[in-house]
């Protein structure tokens, strides 16, 4: 059985090559991005100067623990590079993200980034998106109606719950609907359909945003662009 933790670390380590001094760096969320933050922190402690913009409260705590100076959108309107994880990556580098519930901030940061790098273990690389339930952030009022409309698009829809059986609440105080489509044949079209539903705040489909995916596979990494192997 592959060592997925090692694959995550290898991918995160490879992504460091793309970070130059003076850059504004988007700091992703999740366990693979956490490897990147730890490794970047080591460089910062050795005098490497960058500033980070975190994609979640948890990431901002982690970044501070590792000594990474942080900034925000009151000081910067673009990021040079962002390193984040994903739940699924297809061959065109479209993604499902939001397994950790941070998809809205992650998408705001991704869309403000010049070069988006996704780091992942080999399980995340898929032929078609959709086996992983697509997280959709919705306002709490009327979430049931939003859920019905997403069901009409072909998904099995579940309101995300916490370990204590309460509806999960995002950083923006919204809920998440986990929508299992099994196979998303046309991600772009699904983005448009979801955008048309009143009450949807954002969804975890990231289409056409990724510049480079670095996937750990065994004791190596694969670097992929939308055109193929980099």
Contact positions toward ligand 5RP, by CB under 6 A?
A: 28-33, 84-87, 97-103, 106
Residue number of the CB closest to ligand 5RP reads 30
Q: Which is nearer to ligand 5RP, 61 or 145 (CB)?
A: 61
Catalytic residue list contains 183: no
Instruction: Determine which one of 7, 14, 88, 106 is catalytic.
Output: 106
Closest CA to 134 of 163, 107, 99: 99
Q: Which is nearer to ligand 5RP, 45 or 158 (CB)?
A: 158
CA distance 209 to 26: 14
Find the helix packing angle between 4-15 and 31-45, rounded to 10°. 50
Q: Which is nearer to ligand 5RP, 48 or 122 (CB)?
A: 122
CB atoms within 10 A of CB 56: 23
Q: How far is the CB of 128 from ligand 5RP (least distance, A)?
A: 18
Which residues make beta-bridge pairs with 229? 224
How many residues can be counted in the chain?
A: 230
Q: Which is nearer to ligand 5RP, 48 or 115 (CB)?
A: 115
CA distance 165 to 207: 32
Q: How far is the CB of 56 from ligand 5RP (least distance, A)?
A: 7
Q: How far is the CB of 47 from ligand 5RP (least distance, A)?
A: 28
For residue 25 the two structure tokens come to 């760096």
Q: Supply the residues annotated as catalytic.
A: 106
């Amino acid at each position: 059985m592959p060592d997925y933790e090692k694959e995550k670390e290898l991918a995160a380590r490879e992504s460091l090559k793309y970070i130059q001094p003076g850059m504004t760096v988007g700091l992703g969320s999740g366990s693979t991005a956490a490897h990147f933050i730890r490794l970047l922190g080591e460089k910062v402690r050795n005098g490497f100067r960058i500033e980070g913009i975190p994609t979640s409260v948890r990431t901002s705590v982690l970044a501070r623990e590792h000594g990474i100076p942080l900034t925000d959108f009151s000081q910067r309107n673009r990021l040079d590079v962002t390193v984040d994880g994903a739940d699924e990556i297809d061959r065109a580098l479209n993604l499902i993200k939001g397994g950790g519930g941070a998809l809205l901030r992650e998408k705001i940061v991704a869309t403000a980034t010049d070069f988006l790098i996704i780091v992942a273990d080999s399980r995340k690389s898929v032929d078609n998106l959709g086996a992983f339930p697509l997280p959709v952030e919705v306002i709490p009022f009327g979430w049931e109606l939003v859920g019905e409309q997403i069901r009409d698009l072909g998904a099995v829809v579940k309101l995300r719950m916490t370990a204590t059986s309460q509806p999960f609440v995002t950083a923006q105080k919204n809920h998440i609907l986990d929508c299992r489509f099994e196979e998303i044949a046309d991600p772009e079209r699904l983005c448009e359909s979801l955008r048309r539903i009143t009450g949807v705040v954002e969804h975890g489909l990231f289409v056409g945003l990724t510049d480079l995916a670095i996937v750990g596979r065994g004791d190596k990494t694969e670097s992929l662009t939308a055109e193929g192997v980099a």
